[in-house]
Amino acid sequence: MYSLRIFLLLAALSTVIAPLQRAAAQDLADPAPPPRGTTKVPPASPRRPAGTSEDHPGHEHAGSYYPEDQLLGDVFTEEHSNFCNGCRTCCGTLCQPGGCGMFVRAEYLLWSTKGMRVPALVTTGDPTSTVIPAGVINEDGSLPGNTTVIFGNGLVNGEGHSGGRIVFGAYINPCWTLEGEYLGLRDETTAFRGVSTGDNFLGIPFFDESNDGLPAIFIIAPGAGGPDGSVSIDATTRYQGAGVRLLRSLCCSEGCGPAWWDGCPIDVAKRIDFLIGYRFNRLDDVLIVDQTHDIQGTIRIGQDVFDTENQFHGLDLGTMLQFRRGCWSLDLITKVGIGNTRSVVLINGTAFQNGVQQTPAGGILAVSSNSGQHENNAFTMLPEVGLNVGYQLNPCWRFTCGYNLMYWCGVYRAGDQIDQHINPNLWPPLPLQGNSAGLWPQFPARGSEFWAQGVNFGLEAKW
C-alpha cells in the first residue's frame, strides 16, 4: 500500500519538473533581453509617455525628456543638444563661446551722485534790526532769527542725470576674455543769480578773525546811481571712469533644465570668472563766486574760484557671475579698486576796481592766505557692484538693463575747501596790515565721500 502511494507521488512531481527543465535549457541557449529603460521627467512636470515632435511643437523628444546621463548641471554635449529647446546665439555657448571674436555693449545711464556740500554763501535779513545783525550765521551752522539763507547751507548737483557707457571686449579662448570700458555722466550745474537794488539786502556771511571770530557779513551794496550790486554763483560737477580687465574662467557648467514658466526643457548655464585689471576714475568740481558791489563810491568786481580734481589709479580685482536660462541672462559683477587717489585743489581770487586789478591778489573767500595749488595723495579702496538682466533678441543681439553702485572715499569737493573764517585786513584793495589777526582764511584740506548709483539700459552685439 505504501509503495503504491510513493509511486503516485513521484509521478506527479515528474509532470511538474519536466516543463521547468525545458524552460531552463531554452534560457541557456538564448541571451536575456536588455532591461527596460527608465524615463526621467522634469520635476515640475508629471510623468508623460514618449511622444514625437508633433506632440510638442518646437521640441524634439527621443522617448524621454532627458537622456539617462544628462541631468541639470552636467556638461552639455553635442549628442544631447536635441533634447533642449535652446536660445540660438551666433557665439556658441557660455562655456564654449566659439564663432565670436568680439562684442560691444552700449548703455544709457540714468544715475544720481552724491551732491557737493556748499556752506551758506548768500544770506539776507532785516537790516533795520539792531538786536541781531542781518544775514549772519552761527559757528555751529545754525541760523539766527534774522537770517535767511538764499544760496548754500546744503548739497548741490545731487540730482539724477544722464550719461553713457560703452563696454567692448574679445574672446581670447574659452577661458580668457579681455574687456575694456568707458563711462561718463553729463555735467551737473547749479547756478544762482542775486541782485541787490537797495530795496533788498544781500550779503556773504563770514567769521571776522580780526574781531575774535565773531559772526559778520560782507554786504553786497549797489552803487550810488550806478549798477546794482550782484552775486553770481556757478557750481559744476563732472564724473567719468574707464578701465581694462582680463577675465579668467574659474568654473563653467551647461546643461538642460526646466523652464520657469512651463516646465519644458531649455538650455541652462552658469559661469564664474575672476577679473584683474586697471581702473581709472575722475571727479571734478568747480565753484565760482562773482561779486559786483560798491566800496566807498567805487564799483568793485571780484571773483573767487574753488576748483578740485580727483583722480584714482589702481588695480581692479573682482568676480563676475553669469547665469543663462533659455534666452534670459543674469550677470553679477563685484569688484574693488585698490590704489591711489590724487586730489588737486586750485584756489584763486581776483578783484578789479575801475578796471585795475587790485593787490594783494584776492577776492572775498579766496585771498593770499589760502590761494594757490594744493595737492594730496591717499591710499583708496573703491568698491563697485553691478547687476544686469538680459534677453537674447536674436542670435547676435541682446538687450540688457541693470543697476550699478560705486563708492569712493577721500575725495576733495570744491565746497568743502571754503573757509569762512576770514581776516578782512587781507581783502584788496585795502593795504596789507600786519598779521596780528592771523592768516585767514586757510586751506582746510577736507576730504569727503562720493558715490554714484543708478539704472542702465543697453544693447549688446557679438560678431
238 belongs to a structural domain: yes
Question: Which pLDDT value is given to residue 221?
Answer: 78
Strand partners, 301: 292, 352
34 belongs to a structural domain: no
Is residue 72 predicted with pLDDT exceeding 50? no
Is residue 82 predicted with pLDDT exceeding 60? no
51 belongs to a structural domain: no
387 belongs to a structural domain: yes
The pLDDT-based confidence of 293 (bands split at 50, 70, 90) is: confident
pTM for this entry: 0.79
Specify the higher pLDDT residue, 17 or 182: 182
Is residue 421 predicted with pLDDT exceeding 60? yes
44 belongs to a structural domain: no
Distance between CA 110 and CA 119 in Å, rounded? 28
Question: Which pLDDT value is given to residue 224?
Answer: 56
Question: Which pLDDT value is given to residue 126?
Answer: 81
Angle at 369 between CA 379 and CA 293, to 5 degrees: 120
pLDDT exceeding 90 applies to what percent of the chain? 55
pLDDT exceeding 70 applies to what percent of the chain? 76
Q: Is the previous residue joined to 133 through a cis bond, with omega within 30 degrees of 0?
A: no
15 belongs to a structural domain: no
Question: Which pLDDT value is given to residue 34?
Answer: 46
Number of H helices, E strands in the chain: 1, 19
CB 443: neighbour CB atoms within 10 A?
Answer: 14
Q: How far apart are the first and last CA of the chain?
A: 100
Backbone phi and psi for residue 457, each to the nearest 5 degrees, phi listed first: -130, 130
pLDDT tens profile 383-410:
999 999 999 998 889 999 999 999 999 9
118 belongs to a structural domain: yes
Distance between CA 74 and CA 232 in Å, rounded? 67
**Which of 96-100, 112-116, 167-171, 303-307 has the weakest average pLDDT?**
96-100
pLDDT tens profile 242-289:
999 999 999 999 888 877 777 788 889 999 999 999 999 999 999 999
Domain with 202, as residue range(s), is 102-462
Question: Which CATH number belongs to the domain containing residue 142 in this structure?
Answer: 2.40.128.90
Number of structural domains (the chain) is 1
**Which of 9-18, 164-173, 217-226, 327-336 has the weakest average pLDDT?**
9-18
50 belongs to a structural domain: no
